Structure 1
Amino acid sequence: MSEASPVRHEPAPAAEAPAERPIDVIARIGRAMYGPLWIGKLAADNGLSHQSVRRWLAGQGSPTAFDFRLVKLIAREHAARVMRAVGDETP
């Protein structure tokens, strides 16, 4: 009687996460910058209509590449202003 070799269980391949939509990134940035009432504030700061942002969130159309880059640029500028305000002084 021969011994059976141990059964090796290979892990299931990881499912690829669906790519994040540009509007999902914009929404994450908007919430981080402006809080729960982010849509109107983000739209105003980026020269967009709040209706456009709401349509994108509802899956009706999507932001242009320019709009996406502009939101990210303004977010980086905002973050830089905050970092300058905080400074690197230690208490």
Structure 2
Amino acid sequence: MLYVLKAACIAIYGCALASLVMPGSASGLAFAVEIVAMAFLVIHACEVVFVFGRLRLYRGPLALSVVLTLLFGVLHWMPLMKAQSRRSNS
């Protein structure tokens, strides 16, 4: 299920980028997808601020964890917290 939601995020960003690049795509649907993608990015940027300490749980570079949070939000950092919780309970 997590991969499906991540794929949906990527699809939204991809459609928004395509609507910006493709000529003649000034339809209402294209505009709506752009608004949704911008809203995702703003919400996920706020998430970065509020869960920055939790982003350090990622085993890779912190900058990559920030980028993944900007793209996927809670879909990136919540599994990190759950894994940390399971390790501390063991």
TM range (shorter): 0.3 to 0.5
More helix by share: 2
TM-score, with structure 2 as normaliser: 0.33
TM-score, normalization: structure 1?
A: 0.33
RCO higher in structure (CA 8 A, sep ≥6)? 2
